[in-house]
Chains A and B, each alone.
Chain A
Amino acid sequence: MAETQQQRPGRATAGQDGPARPPLWRDVRVLRGVLQVGFLVATVALVQWLFGNLTSNLDRLGIRRDFTFLDQPAGFSILGAPDFRAQDTIQNALLLGLGNAVRVAILGVLLSLLIGIVVGVARLSKNWLVARSASAYVELLRNIPPLVLVIFFYLGVLATLPRLTEATFLGDVAIISNRGIWVAWLTFGDGSQPFLTAAAVALVVALGVARWRTTVFDRTGTPHRRVLWAAATFAVVTALAFSVLQPPIEPSLPVLDGRVVTGGAWLYPEYLSLLLSLVLYASSFIAEIVRGSILAVHKGQNEAADALGLSSSQRMRYVILPQALRIAAPAIGNEFLNLTKNVSLGIAVGFAEILRVANTAAGNGQPAPQLLIVVLGAYLFLSLIISVIVNVFNRRLQLVER
């Protein structure tokens, strides 16, 4: 009681001339403000100093500082893009490189996810041999630098294949040589555009059907069979479109004619070695994530599935994997990001992704700083897109808390 009484006079004076403020140099609010402003000023000053040096150095050396060089003719050709001519602009060359990078990234993500899930599940197999083989796969691949893999596949494997004149033929569908592998593919002639559009529409319709089946299942409980329904829808619509539009699409088989292969799809060594190594490397990490996530699903879920009398594949498919996926999704997304960034390893074997194109342009006397800004920007943009997709996916997977 005595203390509260002693406090009173103090409080009274505080009431008279506003809240008692400590001196400025001990006021937390002032200090915080000053600290932040100081920090910001220091950061801005550092960045400004760096870029000031950059501009003055570039001016001193007579290097241009704008981005107009993007419209100049490139002056070099690009591997795997026979349509690209030296007089096309640098901008187009960079876009082509970006397209190549995106193509490898998308294929790599899909393949590594597939292999990663299979190997991850195999590591937990009851079959000793399968489990050990899967462990060996993971331990072998994730402890080797990916660049070693790329170079090994490029120089050690694909370059040792027979020469084109002595190429190995797999029937009519594939030609295997050290200049690359040609496989049967489709040629899309002029005028196949409407059909491709129709196919895209068919895909959207099929997804809609799958969704509709899901809502029907949720409402009535009848078996949804959404995959079957969607596939049937897609097949029917594309078949209809094909018969109506008669698109000029034909199968194209690779044919060796002297020293030139015509037809088919050319998987050139640079592309193949990069894709293979990225897929093997990323899949070993994804397998480990999948295994960890399956083990992280609560034991009771397994027992509950057993109690319901589910078979082991049903238990995996309906109980364990959906829950494991929720745990694994962020980590797998991270691996996708790593894979996308690792596409730039292609430069070691001369695969024409965007960094390689920029490097070639820089070698031709184009300004390196701007080119690298473009490349960094492109990769940051790709990373951003992937994180957005992964985040959306994550949010949909999250448990709805009740």
Chain B
Amino acid sequence: MSAPVTTGTGADTARPPQRRVDPARWVRDNLFPTPFNSVLTLVFAPLVVWATWRFARFLVVSARWEIVETNLTLYVVGGFPREQLWRLWLALTILAAVFGLLGGVVGVTAREAAVAAGRTTATTRWDRLARLGPPALLLLVLLGFSRTFTPLLLTGAVVAIGLSLSLVARRIPAALRRAVPLITVAGVVVSLYSISSFGGVPRDEWGGLLITMYYTIGALVVSYPVGILFALGRRSSLPMVRWVCGAYVEFFRGSPLITLLFTGWLVLPFFLPADFPTPTLVTRALIIFILFTSAYVAEIVRGGLQAVGRGQWEAAQALGLSPWKQTRLIVLPQALRAVIPGLVGQAISLFKDTTLVLIIGQQDLLAIAQNVTKQDEFLGQGYIIESLVFVGIVYWVASYWLSKESQRLEVRLGVGQR
């Protein structure tokens, strides 16, 4: 073991000098640079102040949040039987544990790789804290409406378990790290079945944020590999394979998702043999999400495959790798790295698209937001605004967080810079 070569850490790399700008100068440069801009500023400033004031006042003062406080459990889990809620906490604990483990291992591996390559990690402590902002905000939004302390305590415990396991993960010897992704997958499966099996709650009774997350994660996990297969099929040298995969992708990309969900709802059971048990509505919707997302993933990955130069295939051939190994070891890693932003974007758009199950009568987060206003105590008093704003904030924070993370990843991977 030679001593790691440190380049440019410590005090010898000073940050660039901060330019101090006095406020008057800043205002002149940024708000009143030209006559036209001055007019713009004078028109926009009152508008912006008014809109911000109205929205802030609504959030803090005039909104009647009791509709959210009363129905918080409904928003989160829908019609999930209340006496079975411990299963969700159990599943959350398992998930926090495995993802804490995974996060710790990924972090420590990345740091070691950075040190080995002589790079310094450019993130400051403040950057890392800022990254935790949106998820913390999301938790705050959800827990802030809770009337008891139990969810707060339980969430605290779950977060603590996740964090402590991520610390434990740093000490896992390198040889054992390979097992961690497998443990993660196993953990996800176990947590899923700990909710639905062993006397648990069938998925048709799930609702709210829970079913939204189920559709998002379930469809993503299946459609990424399937989409990659279709993308490879479209780039195949066999014309028949190319055409069939192309037809699949173009059909699903040309159809509105809602129409497809209707097809899944009304027609999908007809496509199965008569003696075949009809899949539940949740399963049918999930199948449609998978089929739809696979087509989009295929199109994104195809872009990445096109970006990998021919020389990479030829070099892999020259090394004597089998076609499968050429794809898996040489081409796919490069192709996927190039399209990670697109893939995250697809995840975000799937997350937003899960709202469409409302139209086929599922009780997802948005449907609950609409239905709670029909309760006796809230009926006909315009509570829909509060309800929709709450749900909108949940969707917004989650999507915004994912998109920011994707931008960060894009910068870190240096996409488009090599």
Contact = CB atoms under 8 A, between A and B. Distances in A.
Q: Do A and B come from one complex?
A: yes
Interface of A: 32, 35-37, 39-40, 43, 50-51, 53-54, 56-58, 60, 125-130, 133, 139-140, 142-148, 151-152, 155-156, 160, 341-345, 347-348, 355, 359, 362, 368-369, 372, 375-376, 379-380, 383-384
Given A129-B31, A129-B44, A143-B403, 18 more contacts: A36-B239, A39-B240, A39-B244, A53-B270, A53-B272, A128-B30, A129-B48, A139-B400, A147-B355, A148-B366, A156-B385, A341-B255, A341-B256, A344-B256, A344-B258, A347-B258, A348-B358, A355-B256
B267 A369 contact: yes
Contact of A143 (B267, B269, B399): B399
B270 A130 contact: no
A351 B384 CA distance: 20
Contacts of B17: none
Given A39-B238, A156-B385, A355-B256, A376 B400 contact: no
A133 B256 CA distance: 32
B271 A54 contact: yes
Given A156-B388, A362-B266, A372-B266, A148 B355 contact: yes
Contacts of A344: 256, 258-259
B345 to A, nearest CB: 10
Contacts of A35: 238, 241
Interface residues on chain B, size class: 35 or more
18 contacts: A32-B238, A36-B240, A53-B270, A54-B267, A57-B274, A58-B270, A129-B30, A144-B392, A145-B355, A147-B366, A148-B392, A151-B366, A151-B370, A156-B385, A348-B358, A362-B266, A372-B259, A384-B254
B395 interface: yes
B30 A145 contact: no
Nearest to A127: B37
Interface string B339-353: 000000000100011
B257 interface: yes
Interface in B344-390: 348, 352-353, 355-356, 358-359, 366, 370, 382, 384-385, 388
A155 B356 CA distance: 17
Interface string B245-287: 0000001001111111011001101111110000000000000
Q: Of A54, A156, A362, A375, which is in contact with the most chain B CB atoms at under 10 Å from its CB?
A: A156
Contacts of A372: 259, 262-263, 266-267
Interface string B105-131: 000000000000000000000000000
B41 interface: yes
Contacts of B274: 53, 56-57, 60
Contacts, number: 150
Given A127-B40, A151-B366, A372-B262, A342 B238 contact: no
Contacts of A126: 30, 33, 37
A323 B365 CA distance: 43
A57 B238 contact: no
A145 B352 contact: yes
B240 A145 contact: no
A144 B37 contact: no
B414 to A, nearest CB: 18
A129 B45 contact: yes
B61 to A, nearest CB: 18
B391 interface: yes
A128 B31 contact: yes
B395 A57 contact: no
Contacts of A53: 270-274
A43 B142 CA distance: 47
B255 A380 contact: yes
Nearest to A340: B256
Contacts of A54: 267, 270-271
B396 interface: yes
A160 B256 CA distance: 30
Q: Of A35, A139, A344, which is in contact with the most chain B CB atoms at under 10 Å from its CB?
A: A344
A11 to B, nearest CB: 25
A147 B358 CA distance: 9
Contact of A355 (B33, B251, B262, B271): B262
B384 A156 contact: yes
B263 A348 contact: no
Q: Which 6 A-B pairs have the closest CB atoms?
A: A128-B30, A143-B399, A145-B352, A341-B256, A36-B240, A368-B266
Contacts of B273: 53
Contacts of B355: 145, 147-148
A372 B388 CA distance: 31
B400 A133 contact: no
Contact of B241 (A39, A133, A155, A341): A39
Contacts of B37: 125-127, 130
Contacts of B382: 156, 160
Contacts of A139: 400
A50 B271 CA distance: 5
A180 to B, nearest CB: 18
A389 to B, nearest CB: 15
Contact of A380 (B33, B40, B251): B251
A121 to B, nearest CB: 12
Contacts of B48: 129, 133
A153 to B, nearest CB: 10
Nearest to B260: A376
A342 B352 CA distance: 13
Contacts of A142: 399
Contacts of A375: 259, 262
A384 B254 CA distance: 8
A376 B255 contact: yes
Nearest to B272: A53
Q: Of B267, B353, B358, which is in contact with the most chain A CB atoms at under 10 Å from its CB?
A: B267
B241 A36 contact: yes
Given A143-B399, A145-B366, A155-B384, A133 B44 contact: yes
Q: Of A145, A151, A341, A372, which is in contact with the most chain B CB atoms at under 10 Å from its CB?
A: A145
Given A39-B238, A143-B399, A376-B255, A127 B388 contact: no
A376 B263 contact: yes
A381 B353 CA distance: 22
